Amino acid sequence: MAPTVTPINATLGAVVSGLELAHMDEATWKVVERAFLEHGVLIFPGQHLTEAEQVAFARRFGDIELLAADPEQKAVAISNVKPDGTILEADEHRYKSLRGNEGWHTDSSYMPLAAKASCLSAQVVPSSGGETEWADMRAAYDALDDATRRRIAGLSAHHSLYHSQAKIGHMVETGAAYGFHTKGAPLRPLVKVHPVTGRPALFIGRHAYGIPGLSQAESEQLLSDLVDFACRPPRTYAHVWHPGDVVIWDNRCVLHRARPYDYREARVMRHTRVAGDPATELAPTHRDDRASAYEPSSSNR
C-alpha cells in the first residue's frame, strides 16, 4: 500500500503515514523522495527508529555529514541531559549552543560544504514547548516585492557560527566544538536556486553576516528584515514532538529553529545530517576574524 502524504496547512510541510521508514521498498522511497522535494519538510509520526535505522534512512538522501570526532558516529544527540544524567547548567557551552539553535538558521551554512538535509527524531520531550519550527524560503522569495528582489539579486553573505553565537553573547574558542574552525567563513548568495527543483529560495538565517558592498549596519538590517519577512505564516510550521516522531527537512530551501521550553526538564533529540553536494553546496571561504587562524579548505573535516 502506498504511504499517505498529507500536506500541512502552510506553504511547506507534509505528514507521511502508512509506512515504516525502517522497511521501505523502492516504490515507497520514491514517494518519500518526491514529497521531500515538493514539501521541504516531512513529518513521520511514531516511527521509533533505532540509531542504525535513522542513519540508514538519512543515508538514502546522500552522504552523512560527520559532526562528531569519531568518524564511526553518524548520529549525535541534541540534548540538555549530560552523560551522567544531570541537566545542563546555563553557563555551560552546550547550553548556549542549544539556545543559539532558537534563532532561525540552516544547518552547516558556516561550513565550506553546507548541508543538504537534516533528520531529527524525538527521544525524550518536555511537557510543553521544545517544538521545532520551519520556514519556507521558496515561498518567501516568491512573496518578495520586485524592488527587494532586484536589491538582493547578486548579493552574498558570509556565514559563521562564531558570528551567530557571539550575537547571543557566546564567545567560543577555535576547536571547542563542531563549526568553530579555521577554514574561513563561506560566502553564499542570498538567493539559492534549488539544484533539483530549480526554485529560487532565500538563503539567510542567523549565521549570515557581512554582505560585501554594504556597510555592517546596512547588511545587518537587510538580513534581519529578510528573516522577519520570510519567517511568518503561511510559510511556517511548528511541530509538537512525541517520542518516536521522525522529521527530515531540506536545508537548501528551509530555515528552522528550536522553540524554548523549561530547561529544567529533559529534551533529547537524535540528529543525523546529510551532506550537501559539492557541485551546489560548496562555497569559497574568506578569513573569519573571530577564528584563531585562516586555513582555507573545501572539506568540512
Residue recorded with cell 560544504 = 113
Minimum CB distance to Fe ion smaller for 44 or for 104: 104
Residues in the chain: 301
Stretch 204-243: interaction string toward Fe ion, x if CB under 5 A:
----------------------------------------
SS3 of residue 201 by DSSP: strand
Minimum CB distance to Fe ion smaller for 109 or for 219: 109
Total Cβ atoms within 10 A of residue 265: 16
Q: How far is the CB of 96 from Fe ion (least distance, A)?
A: 14
Minimum CB distance to Fe ion smaller for 206 or for 235: 206
Minimum CB distance to Fe ion smaller for 107 or for 281: 107
Angle at 78 between CA 288 and CA 272, to 5 degrees: 80
Minimum CB distance to Fe ion smaller for 158 or for 273: 273
**Per CB under 5 A, which of residues 77..116 are in contact with Fe ion?**
107
Total Cβ atoms within 10 A of residue 299: 10
Residue 211 is classified by DSSP as -
Minimum CB distance to Fe ion smaller for 98 or for 191: 98
Grid cell at residue 61: 538522501
Nearest residue to Fe ion on Cβ basis = 107
Total residues interacting with Fe ion, rule: CB under 5 A: 1
Nearest of 271, 265, 88 to residue 178 by alpha carbon: 271
- Alpha-carbon distance values, 147 to 127, 153, 221, 233 (Å): 45, 10, 16, 22
Q: How far is the CB of 215 from Fe ion (least distance, A)?
A: 29
SS3 of residue 79 by DSSP: strand
65 lies in the binding site for Fe ion (CB under 5 A): no
Q: How far is the CB of 31 from Fe ion (least distance, A)?
A: 26
Q: How far is the CB of 231 from Fe ion (least distance, A)?
A: 14
Minimum CB distance to Fe ion smaller for 36 or for 104: 104
> Using CA atoms, how far apart are residues 131 and 267, in angstroms rounded to an integer?
10
Residue recorded with cell 553573505 = 157
Residues 237, 8: contact at Cβ < 8 Å? yes
Q: How far is the CB of 233 from Fe ion (least distance, A)?
A: 21
Stretch 125-164: interaction string toward Fe ion, x if CB under 5 A:
----------------------------------------
Grid cell at residue 60: 538514502
What is the binding site for Fe ion (CB under 5 A)? 107
